[in-house]
């Protein structure tokens, strides 16, 4: 015994297929747009940002809109075109000077509470002075001995910074300390009004 389905049932099956395809396309576009506009999750691989971010940690990142500030943790494309997570230390137009285990910005020592105690910053190559261009940033990993960063591949362009990692409000931020480097490697202590 067999019977023939009416023509409207066949049309409904075709339209269901079309609706399903359209729904899947809209879902894919929506997920892509949400990742681009709202943010996405990334898994940290490696120890260059320890102890702030450990290998295996999952972080939430958002597209960078507006200015990039000192202390921001960003996802960037590094010199080998891989993604890396680093901290922004130097801003456009500044001079970053690495001397005696510390980072100086425009001659002023940078106090970095996120770097583990007794961890010092040393240059990876002979050059320890980096003059940043108008769209360049100097990035470092918090775990300085185990980080490939701007000390190795130099400043990064603004276009290389892809996303900003969301850190808790209580996360420590860098500030300038009372020491200033003079042109020939000597230092002097400045008084509070000079810190500006």
Total Cβ atoms within 10 A of residue 70: 18
Query: Strands (DSSP E) along the chain, which ranges?
Result: 40-43, 58-63, 73-77, 83-90, 95-99, 102-105, 108-111, 129-131, 136-140, 156-157, 161-165, 175-181, 187-189
Dist CA 142 CA 174 (whole Å):
12
Is residue 86 flagged as an active site residue? Answer: yes
CA pair distance 101, 128, nearest whole angstrom? 11
Which listed residue (48, 61, 147, 150) is catalytic? Answer: 48
Catalytic residue among 86, 147, 150, 163: 86
Q: Is 80 considered catalytic here?
A: no
Active site residues: 48, 86
């Amino acid at each position: 015994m067999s019977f023939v389905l009416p023509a409207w049932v066949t049309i409904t099956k075709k339209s269901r297929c079309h609706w399903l395809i359209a729904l899947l396309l809209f879902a894919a576009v929506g997920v892509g747009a949400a990742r681009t506009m709202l943010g996405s999750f990334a898994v940290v691989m490696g120890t260059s940002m320890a102890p702030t971010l450990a290998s295996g940690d999952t972080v939430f990142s958002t597209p960078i809109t507006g200015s990039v500030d000192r202390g921001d943790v960003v996802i960037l494309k590094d010199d080998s075109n891989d993604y890396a997570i680093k901290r922004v230390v130097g801003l456009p137009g500044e001079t970053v000077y690495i001397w005696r285990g510390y980072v100086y910005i425009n001659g002023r020592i940078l106090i970095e509470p996120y770097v583990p105690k007794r961890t010092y910053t040393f240059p990876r190559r002979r050059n320890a002075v980096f003059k940043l261009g108008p769209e360049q940033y100097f990035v470092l990993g918090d775990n300085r001995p185990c980080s490939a960063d701007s000390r190795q591949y130099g400043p990064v362009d603004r276009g290389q910074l892809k996303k900003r990692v969301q850190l808790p409000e209580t996360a420590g931020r860098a500030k300038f300390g009372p020491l200033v480097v003079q042109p020939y490697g000597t230092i002097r202590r400045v008084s509070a009004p000079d810190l500006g």
